[in-house]
Each structure stands twice: as C-alpha cells, then as structure tokens.
Structure 1
Amino acid sequence: MRLVRHPVLCNYYVTYRCNARCSFCDIWEKPSPYITLEDVERNLRDLKRLGVSVVDFTGGEPLLHRQIHEFVGLAHDMGFITTLTTNCLLYPKYAEKLRGKVDMLHFSLDSSEKEVHDKGRGVACYDFVLESIRVAKELGERPDILFTVFRENLADLEAVYRDIARPNGLVLILNPAFEYNTVETGEQLTTAELDYLSAFGKRKGVYLNEAFIQLRKDGGNHIAAPVCRAASTTLVISPSNELVLPCYHLGEQKFPIDGQLFNLYHSPEVGRLVALEGRLPQCEGCTINCYMQPSFAVEVNKYFWQALPSTLRYNLNKGTWKRMLVR
C-alpha cells in the first residue's frame, strides 16, 4: 500500500568536484560547475510545491561551494529539513557560517586509525574530522559520524564507537557500502557479517536502517517486483541545474530545469521515466542506500516495518520530528 505519492527528498548536488579521492566513489572524477543561488531559490520554491520535506545538499564535497551556507540557510528558513555530509577538510573554516542551518550534519569517518581512514579517502582528512568534532561541539552543533561499512573495516566499528562516537555524544550512522556502475567496494558482506552489523545497530547511539540489511539478504532490488521508488520519492538536481532521472547513479536522462521544476516533474517525459523506476535492467540487484531509504518510507511492506523503528528513534534524537509538524 502506497502511503505517499509525491517526492519527499531532494538530493541537490551543489558540485561534483571534491577535494578527496575516495576509492569507493567516482563523483570526484567528473568535471563540474557550481550551482547558483538564483537557481536554488527557484528550485526550492518548486520543491515546496511538490511536497518535498528533506533537502540533502551533496556533492562531491559540498563545502567546496563558497555559498553553501546560503543554500542551507535558505532551505532551513523555508521549513525544509536540511542535511549535509562532509569529509571535514573545510568544516572548521565554514562551521560558524553553517551554525544552526543543518539539521542532519554528517562527518564521514571510516576507521579509528588515521592511516587507514586517510588511505581510503585518498587524502589526509582524519585529523580534520577530529578537529571538526571539537569545533562543532563548541558551537553547540550535533553532528553524526557516518561510517561507510566494508568487509575490510567491519572490525573497526567497535573502536570508532568506543573511542570517538560515545565519548563525544555523537550518533554513529552505519552506512553499508554499495556498488554502482564500475565502482567496486570489495567483497560483499556475508550473512554472518550482516547479522553482526544488525546487532551492532541496536546499540545505544547507533543508527542503522535494518531494511538495508534485509534488502542485501534478499539480493537487492528485483526488477520483476521492485522495491525501489527512486524517481517518485527523490528528485536529483545536478550542478548544471538539470533534473536527473531515474537517479544520480544511473543517470539515464537529464532534463534542463530552466526555472520550471514543478512543471517539468509533471511532464509526460518525466512521467515515463518515473514509471520505470526500479524496473530498468541496471536496477536488478541494486542496494543504493540514497534511494532505498526514501523508498522504504512511502510504501507499507516488510521493508517499511523494518526501517520504521530506527528511523523514528533517529528523528526523535535529532529533534527533526518537530520541524515536520510545523511544515
């Protein structure tokens, strides 16, 4: 049973440029412009009309955009729940400008060991994560630690939780790695490892969407009976001000927005692609968290019920449920 039939999330790519070279991502390889404030203002108004609740300002590294604080501030003032994930290289520089404007602020950290984390990120950013935690706490911010889980770093979860997340009172978000296009993330987690991750996700101060675990055990999305609702739940906007469908990672087609996002989304051309969500050949076996998370939230099925407890717990912790009430 479908509960919500309008998009709930916008993944807004402010630039594809990045100051890191993560081994599990290819975004930084793309040439890219930067979004403009004028386009952001127009698009946010249309996102509001479309029913979107959450705007994730992403990249690349979103803090490379010198106006990022203006974008999140505008969206926050308009009543959107704002999210932003950073590798922290630039956070200490922009922390004061971002203060109070990001509802869900995520600091990426994949190991408790400096050498291991920096090797995976392709740049020395571990020390910047620790410094960013210190700066954020001084400003009264409540960032989360976003831990992307691979087989290679699964054993390091305990140390990150014990030595970094808990002492600083931060939520540890477990983000199971996923493959897409030609990007490889190593061997997939075994059933036993998924069970370990699931148990870890039940600890105090840890957030794991349990439906991510079940989806992987089920072999991912299946085009014969898709669980993915990427195109109807999530709007992807590129740095070139294009609507990307059915999702960023497939990017089958790009439509220039030209200040007409609301009308474009309701156009026949976009409607045809939305109807194919989860059913394209490339969608078989997909486990991309960015689109599964909203997909689980709009349709009552087993994934909905598995995702619900952790989602409610996280939103209670962050206080974002209050912003939902005043929309």
Structure 2
Amino acid sequence: MRLIKHPVLCNYYVTYRCNATCSFCDIWEKPSPYITLQNFRENLRDLKKLGVKVIDFTGGEPLLHRELDILLAEAKKAGMITTVTTNCLLYPKYAERLKDKVDMLHFSLDSPDEEEHNLSRGVKCFDKVMESIAIARKLGERPDVLFTVFEQNVDKVERVWKEITQPNGLVLILNPVFDYNSVQTGGSLSEQSLNQLLWWGKQKNVYLNEAFISLRQNGGNHVDNPVCKAASTTLVISPENKLVLPCYHLGTKSFTINNNLYNLYQSAEVQKIVALEGKLKECEGCVINCYMQPSFAVEINKYFWKALPSTLKYNYIKSTWKQLI
C-alpha cells in the first residue's frame, strides 16, 4: 500500500566538481557549472508545491559552491529539512557561515587510519575531518560521521566508533557501498559483513538502515516486482538546471527546467518515465542507497518495516522528526 504519492526528497547537485578523487565515485570526472541563485529560488518554489520536505545539497563537493550558505538559508526559510555531505576539506573555512543551516551534516570518513582514508579519497583530508569535528562541536553543531563500508574496511567500524564518534558524541552512519555504471567498488559485501553491520546498527549512536541489508540479501531490486520508487519519491536536479530521470545514476533522460519544474514534473512525458521506475533492465539488482531510502518510506512492504526502527532511532537522536510534523 502506497502511503505517500508525491516526491519527498530533492537531490540537488549544486556542482559535479570535487576537490577529491574518490575511487568509488565518478561524479568528480564530469565538467560542471554551479547552480545559480535565481534557478534555485524558482525550483525551491516548485519543490514546495510538489510536496518535497528534504533537500540534499550534493555534488561533487557541495562546499565548492560559494553561495551554499545562502541556498541553505533559503531552503530552511521555506521549511525544508537540509542535508549536506562533505569531505571536510573546506568545512573549517566555511563552518561559521554554515552554522545552524544544515539539519543533517555528514562528514565522510572511511577509516580511523589516516593513510587508508586518504588513499580511498585520493587526497589528504583525514586531518581536515578531525579538525572539522572539533570546529563543529565548538560551534554547537551535531555532525554525523558517514562511513562508506567496503569488504576491506568493515573491520574498522569498531575503531571509528570507539575512537572518533563515541568520544565526540556523534552518530556513526554506516553506508554500505554500491556499484553503479562502470564504477567498481571491489565486489559485494559478504554475508558475514552484512551480519556484522546488522549487529553494529543496534549499538548506541549508530545508524544503519536494516532494509539496505535485507535488500542486498534478496538480490537487490527486481524489475518484475520493483521496490525502487526513485522517480516518484526523489527529484534529481543537475547543475545545468535539468530534471534528471529516473535517477542520477541511471540518468536515461533529462529535461531543461526553465522556471517550470512543477508543470514539467506533472507532464505526460515525465510521468511516463516515472512509471518505469525500478522496471528498466538496468534496474535489476540495484541497491543504490540514496534512492532506496526514500523508496522504503513511502510504501508499506517488508522493507518499510525493516527500515522503520533505524529511521525512528536516527530522527529521534537528531530531532528532525519535529520538522516532519
């Protein structure tokens, strides 16, 4: 049974540019402009009309956008929940400007070992993550540590929890890695690793969406009975001010918005693509977290019930539930 029939999330790519070269991402390889304030204001108006509640300001590295603080402030004024994930290279420089503007601020960290983390990111940023945690805490911010889990670093979860997140009173978010397009991440997580993550997800101040694990154990999305609701739950806007469908990672079609996002999304041509979400041949086996998370939240099925306890846990810790009422 479908509970919510309108989009709830916008993945707003403020730029594809990045100051890191992560091995498990190809976004940084793309040439890219930056979004404009005018286009954002036009789209924000229509996102609100469409029922969107959360805007993820993403990239690339979102802090490369020099007006990110203004974008966040306007989103907050419009009643949106805001989220930003950063590699922290620029956070110390802009921390004061971002204060109180990000509801869910995520600092990426893949290892408690400096050399290992820097190698995965292709740039020296471990020290910046540590510095950013100290600065954020001093400012009264509550960042999360976003740990992308690979088979080769799952054994480092305990040290990150014990040495970094617990002493600083932070939430540790476990983000199981996924393959997409030609990007290879070293293979799927083993059953043993998936079970380790399930155990960690029950620990204090650790967030793991258990439905991510269940979906992987069941072979991912299946086109004959899709769980993915990417296009109907999530609007993807590119730095070129285009609506990308059915999701960023597949991106088979894009439409120029031209100050008309509301009507564009409702159009027959767009809705025809929305109707194919999770059913395209490329969707078979998909486990991409950023689209599955909202998919689990809008329809009552086995994944909804798997996701619910961890979702309630995180929103209680972060107090974001108050903004959804």
Q: Secondary structure at the match of 2:167?
A: coil
- Counterpart residue type for residue 250 of structure 1: L
Partner in structure 1 of residue 157 of structure 2: 157
Q: Secondary structure at the match of 1:134?
A: helix
Partner in structure 2 of residue 193 of structure 1: 193
Instruction: Give 5+ residue unaligned stretches, structure 1.
Output: none
Distance 1:179 1:24 in 2: 8
Matches within 5 A, 1:283-322: 283-322=283-322
Distance 2:294 2:282 in 1: 19
Is residue 2:165 matched to residue 1:175? no
- Counterpart residue type for residue 48 of structure 1: K
Shift of 1:77: 1.2
Q: Percent identity?
A: 67
TM-score, reference length from structure 2: 1.00
Q: Secondary structure at the match of 1:71?
A: helix
Distance 1:63 1:145 in 2: 17
Partner in structure 1 of residue 141 of structure 2: 141
Deviations 1:188-218 (CA, angstroms, capped at 9, x unpaired): 1111210111011100000000000000000
Shift of 1:22: 0.1
Matches within 5 A, 1:1-327: 1-325=1-325
- Counterpart residue type for residue 61 of structure 1: E
- Counterpart residue type for residue 60 of structure 2: G
Distance 1:155 1:187 in 2: 16
Shift of 1:143: 0.2
Deviates further, 192-201 or 125-134: 192-201
Q: Secondary structure at the match of 2:168?
A: coil
Distance 1:38 1:116 in 2: 41
Q: Secondary structure at the match of 1:183?
A: coil
Deviates further, 216-225 or 184-193: 184-193
- Counterpart residue type for residue 26 of structure 2: D
- Counterpart residue type for residue 289 of structure 2: N
TM-score, reference length from structure 1: 0.99
- Counterpart residue type for residue 306 of structure 1: K
Instruction: Give 5+ residue unaligned stretches, structure 2.
Output: none
Distance 1:76 1:108 in 2: 23
Deviations 1:217-239 (CA, angstroms, capped at 9, x unpaired): 00000001000000000000000
- How many residues are matched? 325
Deviations 1:44-63 (CA, angstroms, capped at 9, x unpaired): 11000000010000000000
Q: Secondary structure at the match of 1:23?
A: coil
Shift of 1:321: 1.0
Deviations 1:54-74 (CA, angstroms, capped at 9, x unpaired): 000000000000000000111
- Counterpart residue type for residue 89 of structure 2: L
Shift of 1:187: 2.0
Q: How big is the alpha-carbon RMSD for the aligned residues of Structure 1 and Structure 2?
A: 0.4
Q: Secondary structure at the match of 1:75?
A: helix
Distance 1:315 1:77 in 2: 20
